[in-house]
Amino acid sequence: MSSSLKNELSSSEFEVEAQDLQLQAQLQSNLRLINVVNGSRLALTVLALAAGITVLGVSANGLMVYHQTYLPVDFYLPLWPSQFDLRPTTALVAGGVVVTVANIVSLFFSKVQALRSLTGPHAIASLAAPAVGFIASLVAMSLFYAVNSSSTVDNFQSWTCRWNDVPMSMQPHFGTLCKQSQAGVVLSVLLVPLEAAILAVAGYQAVLERQTTKA
């Protein structure tokens, strides 16, 4: 074998090794980026879960207090108006339930390795769960403002906030219920962009994982 042929083979082997090292470095860089993106998605999901649980808790508590303290008109001691619209609060409760369940499912699939291996590197749940959460939060807010537009029929928030300065030593504490209702509405509004951000991050993570798998 001539020296020129040996030099060509050595050069070819060196180029192959250099390409392998470059691919490994690129793969390690992609894996680190995936870990960062996955950590961000999990942090946002936990935040959305906490917000969903809070919305569900304060809205469900308001409905519970209403049913516990409601008196028919026949008793002539009305704490609540005879014409009363509970649909805005019910919409928040329903939205809170769906958002909470969707984020729990997302976290469950992210943490259980066996489920991740069944659903692939870019698990369907990581995309489906925030998509469901985003749709649920958007629909809940749309329903809330759609049925909350009446200027003649009171709803839970308008009634409790109207009488929030009335001192009460027992249920219903209108001041507390007003603050809880306002907090539920604010968190529901924030859930829409938060779930959208989770969906965007999950989609970016899926693209990165697919590229890394093909590499």
- The tens digit of pLDDT for each residue in 119-159 reads 454 456 678 888 899 999 998 888 888 777 667 788 888 88
Whole-number Å distance between alpha carbons of 129 and 132 = 5
| pLDDT the model gives residue 164 | 87
Average pLDDT over residues 90-109: 90
Residue 90, domain extent:
3-214
CA angle 76, 82, 88 (to 5 degrees): 140
Tokens of 78: 């009305």
Whole-number Å distance between alpha carbons of 214 and 192 = 33
Q: Which residues make Cβ contacts (< 8 Å) with residue 200, sequence separation at least 6?
A: none
| pLDDT the model gives residue 29 | 74
Mean pLDDT score of the chain, rounded to an integer?
A: 79
**What's the structural domain count of the chain?**
1
- Using CA atoms of 182, 187, 83, 80 in order, give the dihedral in degrees to the nearest 10: -50
Q: Which of 193, 209, 215 is nearest to 38 (CA)?
A: 209
Q: Give per-residue burial for 45-56: e unless 16+ CB within 10 Å, then b.
A: bebbbebbbbbb
Average pLDDT over residues 16-21: 59
H or E stretch covering 4 = helix 3-69
CA angle 21, 27, 28 (to 5 degrees): 90
Tokens 């030593």 identify what position?
Answer: 169
Tokens of 49: 């879960």
With a cut of 50, say whether residue 114 has pLDDT above it.
Answer: no
Percent of the chain with pLDDT over 70: 75
| pLDDT the model gives residue 15 | 57
Tokens of 25: 């470095």
Q: Which of 133, 126, 116 is nearest to 203 (CA)?
A: 126
> pTM, whole model, 2 decimals?
0.79
